A and B are shown apart, each in its own frame.
Chain A
């Protein structure tokens, strides 16, 4: 009985590998340019899902984990993409909106998600890194032009 269950699981996992998603990194259209320390923080904790410079891990080729990774990267890029930052500059209201959301999520500690930090220890910011990012966000919001 146990052998049959194991065989069924192996079969299901094998079949799952047939459903694949492309691990693509589209060209960087216009990257964000924060101070170097902040950029290091953003790259370590955010860029895998919120840029076109995703470091696809080995398990991103292994279903069903690959499905979750693909979902996170797709959704992350749609919501905030640092590789398309220059496009946000064309609409200052959108840029401010993105900055305010970054601030909110960093303050709440909701980003990066716990399961990402669990497998990417380098994504865990020190208090200093967190403060540097918040300081940059606040300065950018303060410098934002008024929008109609």
Chain B
């Protein structure tokens, strides 16, 4: 009985460790909005492959990630994050901004 409990704990712990390692290797590119700017403001992605972009709102008020060139628009509540699905991009630079704070700096995604 004790042996099986120990084995169950061991399996559980190794699963948790595996999940943590996966989270640490998060493949999604991300931008965080804080202090009136996106960080990083420049992001490079491979051209020709669909990807997902994690947008994190580090502010205490809602922000709106918007890009006319990428045809995307997402409201992100304070302290939350969203995943934006993007198609394969042609090589080039695509701007994005916070439509709720137009005075804030804009960001760029460069597809290479």
Contact = CB atoms under 8 A, between A and B. Distances in A.
Contacts of A147: 82-83
B86 interface: yes
A94 to B, nearest CB: 5
B84 A93 contact: yes
Contacts of B85: 90-93
B86 to A, nearest CB: 7
Contact of A93 (B68, B82, B87): B82
A92 B85 CA distance: 8
A97 interface: yes
Interface string A69-94: 00000000011010010011011111
Contacts of B72: 91, 94
A97 B82 contact: no
A97 B85 CA distance: 14
Q: Give the bracket for the number of chain B residues in contact with chain A.
A: 10 to 19
Nearest to A89: B85
A94 B83 contact: no
A52 B68 CA distance: 15
Nearest to A91: B85
B84 A91 contact: yes
Interface string B61-82: 0000000100111110000001
A107 B68 CA distance: 25
A63 to B, nearest CB: 25
Interface string A87-109: 11011111001100000000000
A94 B74 CA distance: 6
Contacts of A57: none
B75 A94 contact: no
A93 B76 CA distance: 10
Contacts of B86: 90-91
A147 B81 CA distance: 11
A94 B84 CA distance: 8
A84 B75 contact: no
Residue among A81, A91, A147 with the most chain B CB within 10 A?
Answer: A91
A79 B64 CA distance: 13
Nearest to B69: A78
Nearest to B86: A91
